[in-house]
Structure 1
Amino acid sequence: MTDYLTAHPEIHTIRIAACDLNGQPRGKRLPARFAGKAEQGGTRFPMSVLNLDIWGDDIENSPLVFASGDPDGTLHPTERGYVPMPWLDAPSALLPVWMSHDDGTPFAGDPRHALAAVQDRYKARGLTPVVATELEFYLIDDSGDELRVPASPRSGKRRLGADTLSLRTLDAFDGFFTELYDACEAMDIPADAAISESGWGQFEINLMHQDDALKAADDAWLFKMLVHGLARKHGFAASFMAKPYPDYAGNGMHTHFSVLDNDGNNIFDDGTARGSDDLLAAVAGCLRAIPASGLIFAPHGNSYDRMVPGAHAPTSICWAYENRTAAVRVPGGSPKARRIEHRVAGGDINPYLMLAAVLGAALTGIEDALTPPDPITGNAYDLDLPQMPDSWQAAIAELETSTVMHRILPQQLIENLILTKRQEATKYAQLERADQIALYLDTV
């Protein structure tokens, strides 16, 4: 990896960062000349750092802090290696790392290790998930008391209205999107199509499918950092928070996935529009785990503002063919490309936990040979269907009593997440609306 720094002598500082439970990068800044030590011997910081609340505070009564003496973990580079940080003024590079105990065993509170364990379970069955993500975000002028659509850098005017799939809206911010795509190429993030969405100043960018779920999560995590940073460089904010505006559509993060066997065959394809029994079992597994996964798909106080009927976010636990009102959708097209679209998660999620929950749920469905209920037709909002957790407290309770999530995530991570969200919910309830928005605008 030092070859990267040799090839880029302009880089004088590096950041070493791991992903905490809230998806926040936590780590250190180092002069580039000391990078070799971090690469070879790893770096150290407290295990509790991967389990801070959204404000960056310790979790009260956490077993990782005073009860255990707040011990260090060791962090080693992930397979990603260095990536540039083009949103910073000075040439800099980021080295993603993940945490282990001193004996080399993975730290169970690290969300990247949780996803790696799910991927390993697929490999043990001779299977490989192929994953793509779709990330929605808003560009926002937050310079005043009220959030507004940024003025177009081209015309100086504000487009006050939804403009779905508008080239004009994309072109108004062409400088930002051009720099964003250049940065994605430099960071090896497979950014595909960009579209304008239904909210004022809302956009979506798809990241291409790939047969490495860890890289897909890395890409999403790095992409969110990049969009946040570049937007500030251009004079406005970018936010993936679930519902920055009460009256406009929220931000989602949909994921598409199929599963290949050792011969490269899509196990969801049976040559028909129905899909295979494995497809139906995976759908059933996803549906079964939605209530207990609610805290992962909607991890913050603002997340539940998005989960309301008629707001382009699913609220019912159901599935369908080619129906975007359902939580789990099976898109049409060639049977060879048969896949599942999981539509529940907001843009404010931790990508590692979200993919671990989705892929892990699908695998439990395949393992148990589940059969889903009949697919719905029509508008899911108008049907009498089981509902997702509709509040933070309900989602916490569902995870705490779940049995299926203990097959997907480590016990320690589940306990840490519950403690974290209880602390955040207490503090969040004391904030005014403006402070709640400010809390999440740049963080998630």
Structure 2
Amino acid sequence: MAKRSKGAQKTQATAPRGVTSLTEAKAWMASRGITEIECTVPDLAGVARGKIMPASKFFSSPVMNLPLSVFFQTISGEYPDYEGLVDSVIADSDLVLEPDLATLCSVPWAQDPTAQVIHDAYHRDGRPVELAPRQVLRHVISLYEKKGWKPVVAPEIEFYLVEPNTDPDYPLKPPVGRSGRPEIGRQSYSIQAVNEFDALFEDIYDYSEAQGLEIDTLIHEDGAAQMEINLRHGDPLVLADQVFLFKRTIREAALAHKIYATFMAKPIANEPGSAMHIHQSVINTATGRNLFSDEDGDPTPEFFSFIAGHQKYLPSVMCIMAPYVNSYRRLTRDSMAPINLQWGYDNRTAGLRVPPSTPEARRLENRVPSSDANPYLAIAASLACGYLGLTENLRATDPIDGDAKNLDFDLPRGLLEAVAAFQDSEPLAEVLGERFVSAYAAVKQAEFETFMRVISPWEREYLLLNV
């Protein structure tokens, strides 16, 4: 599905997204009458943190400060114990956040003319902040660059549209579409089911165009009112930025139509979970050729090593791919999600799929991550697995032809098990950074403790009067 937005015929004074200097940024904002700017930085959960300031103040001092604790906050707003995770000297210090002007774009849903720009986090001595998701991904990309490689990714993000839900004790329900009725049966790939929310998707396209974001396709997925947006392939950091912005864009557009858009991995009990599939290839920068295909168009040993790296190391990064307790509800045998690390040619039951393609476009699709994952960290972790497979010259198993979901589980079944595997992997700590691994694990453990304070309906249903 590809639509031209209602405002597409309008000529813009400058490019809709990104500049290279403060002078260009000032001209960009002046041409749009921008009065405010949202200065954001993605935290460990992929939540936009930061400050909103008048445009005039931004240009007088484009660098802002936030405390290091912004990268320790759990999804429930609490913090783990810092002791041993950071130096005592910098535990409560401010970080320096510098704008990446290539990400400058409008905020089309704002009431007043507003811009937004994503920032990078640095310590006061100029070192990148090891805990900042954007810096983690930058570091992994740099490891590829040192080998003469350039990774290319294309994410696919699934999400649900649901009725507004203000009481967390009540289950989520599909929203009412233009027909006046909610979607009951599953409508995979149905154009009519997408058209039920045509006005909402027109706004998503308009908002995306205003921000310079490129949607490749929009489809209806398997679940009731479950959708998927596919993005065009490109630079991993650019695509992670786009997913970061898309999530907020979709939520804001849905709210304007009195609908919630949710990226929870498993929001509705009897419906499929939502994934963030990551397509990956690697370019040899010296030749410009796909590292995964030889001159005859056949797969190379490097391609199979890349697959093998995922088979070996994905279990150890599952707390990034599936970052919450809810994420593991998606990874069950009776769902559409993978439960192991088999790989196959065009086999959607496997965790690792090789889609049909030309030799130039040969790639690996990682189907394990859920849509609640931080896009920067999920892409970084997936590329880290592939990098280790390449540098360790690992060998993949034989491809599977049948239904991989009939085989045993290869993946952790819960968050604590996944965190323990994450902490135990020395190769991943070297690639992702030891300080990041320690801090991220601490945040996940703290979130699990918060979850354990809640008594679920299942416990009241089966234990209240039976035990």
**Aligned pair partner of 2:94 in 72, 93, 111:** 72
Counterpart amino acid of residue 176 in structure 2: A
Cα drift, residue 284 of structure 1? 0.5
Letter in 2 for 1:150: P
**Structure 1 residue 59 displacement after superposition:** 2.2
Aligned to 1:382: 406
1:24 paired residue number: 47
| Matched positions, count | 428
Contact in 2 for aligned 1:22/1:54 (Cα 8 Å)? yes
Name the residue aligned to 1:403.
426
- Distance in 2, Cα, partners of 1:430 & 1:135: 31
2:172 corresponds, among 147, 154, 168, to 147
Counterpart position of 1:305: 329
Which stretch shifts more, 77-86 or 339-348?
A: 77-86
Distance 1:230 1:89 in 2: 13
Instruction: Provide the secondary structure at the position in 2 that maps to 1:249.
Output: coil
Alignment partner of 1:225 is 2:267: no
Which residue in the other structure is 2:339 paired with? 315
Map 1:26-175 to 2 at 5 A: 26-39=49-62, 42-62=63-83, 63-64=85-86, 68-143=90-165, 145-152=170-177, 154-175=178-199
Deviates more, 1:348-357 or 1:29-38: 29-38
**Alpha-carbon distance between aligned partners in 2 of 1:380 and 1:134, rounded to the nearest angstrom:** 21
CA deviation string 1:162-203 (max 9, x = no partner): 100000011111111111112112212221110001101100
For residue 80 of structure 1, give the secondary structure of its aligned residue in structure 2: helix
**In the alignment, is the contact (CA less than 8 A) between 2:149 and 2:282 conserved in 1?**
yes
User: The residue matched to 2:294 in structure 1 has which SS?
Assistant: coil
Structure 2 residue matching 1:220: 3-state secondary structure = helix
* Letter of the structure 2 residue corresponding to residue 18 of structure 1: V
- Could you tell me whether the CA contact under 8 Å between 2:32 and 2:113 is conserved in 1? no
Partners of 1:202 and 1:184 in 2: how far apart? Answer: 19
Provide the rounded CA distance (Å) in 2 between the counterparts of 1:287 and 1:364. 11
> What amino acid does structure 2 have at the position aligned with 1:102?
R
Contact 1:285 1:363 in 2 (8 A): yes
Shift of 1:301: 1.1
> Out of 272, 277, 282, which is 2:306 matched to?
282
Q: 1:270 aligns with which of 294, 303, 306?
A: 294
Cα distance, 1:126 vs structure 2: 1.4
In the TM superposition, residue 334 of structure 1 has moved relative to its aligned partner by: 1.8
* Native 8 Å contact 2:173 2:268 kept in 1: no
Tell which deviates more after alignment, 417-426 or 333-342: 333-342
3-state DSSP of counterpart to 1:184: helix
1:214 correspondence with 2:237: yes
Of structures 1 and 2, the larger Rg is shown by 2
Counterpart Cα distance in 2 of 1:65 and 1:117: 21
Q: Secondary structure at the match of 1:238?
A: strand
The one-character-per-residue Cα deviations of 1:258-313 (angstroms, maximum 9, x if unpaired) are 11112211111136786111100100011111111110000011101101013111
Is the partner of 2:218 in helix, strand or coil? strand
User: Aligned partners of 1:323, 1:135: CA distance in 2, in Å?
Assistant: 19
The amino acid of 2:69's aligned partner reads S
- Deviation by residue 1:184-241 (Cα, 9 ceiling, x = unmatched): 122122211100011011000101001x111011011111111111111111100011
Partner of 1:412: 435
RMSD value over aligned CA atoms? Answer: 1.7
Which deviates more from structure 2 when the two are superposed, residues 424-433 or residues 215-224? 424-433
What is the aligned partner in structure 2 of residue 369 from structure 1?
A: 393
Change in Cα spacing, 1:274 to 1:395, as seen in structure 2 (3 Å) is: farther
Structure 2 SS opposite 1:256: strand
Q: Residue 281 of structure 2 aligns to a residue in which SS?
A: strand
Distance (Å, rounded) in 2 between the aligned partners of 1:53 and 1:176: 31
Q: Distance in 1 between matches of 2:145 and 2:91?
A: 37
Tell me the CA shift for residue 88 of structure 1. Answer: 2.8
Q: Secondary structure at the match of 1:209?
A: coil
> 2 CA distance for matches of 1:371 and 1:66?
43
Q: C-alpha separation between the residues in 2 aligned to 1:167 and 1:406?
A: 45
Distance across 2 between alignment mates of 1:70 and 1:116: 25
Mapped to 2, the partners of 1:58 and 1:117 lie a distance apart of: 25
Q: Return 5+ residue gaps in structure 2 as ranges.
A: 1-24, 458-467
Please, what TM-score do these two structures have when normalized by structure 2? 0.88
CA separation of 1:65 and 1:127: change in aligned 2, threshold 3 A: closer
Judging changes above 3 Å, is the alpha-carbon distance between structure 1 residues 296 and 172 closer, same or farther for their aligned structure 2 residues?
same
Say if 1:349 and 1:203 are closer, same or farther in 2 by CA, change over 3 A.
same
Deviation at residue 421 of structure 1 after TM alignment: 0.7
**Separation in 1, partners of 2:303, 2:42:** 31
**1:60 CA drift (Å):** 2.4
Alpha-carbon distance in structure 2 between the residues aligned to 1:58 and 1:37? 33
For 1:156 and 1:433, how far apart are their aligned partners in 2?
33
Partners of 1:38 and 1:173 in 2: CA distance: 42
Q: After superposition, where does 1:256-267 map in structure 2 within 5 Å?
A: 256-262=279-285, 263-267=287-291
- Seq. identity, %: 33
Following superposition of structure 1 onto structure 2, how do residues 216-255 of structure 1 map, counting pairs within 5 Å?
Answer: 216-255=239-278
Give the 3-state SS of the residue equivalent to 1:107 in structure 2.
coil
- Equivalent residue in structure 2 for 1:199, among 211, 223, 227: 223
Q: What is the rounded CA distance, in whole Å, between the counterparts of 1:99 and 1:383 in structure 2? A: 43
CA displacement at 1:424 relative to structure 2 = 0.5
Give distance in 1, aligned partners of 2:449 and 2:89.
22
- Distance, in Å, in 2 between the alignment partners of 1:19 and 1:376 is 38
Aligned partners of 1:361, 1:56: CA distance in 2, in Å?
30
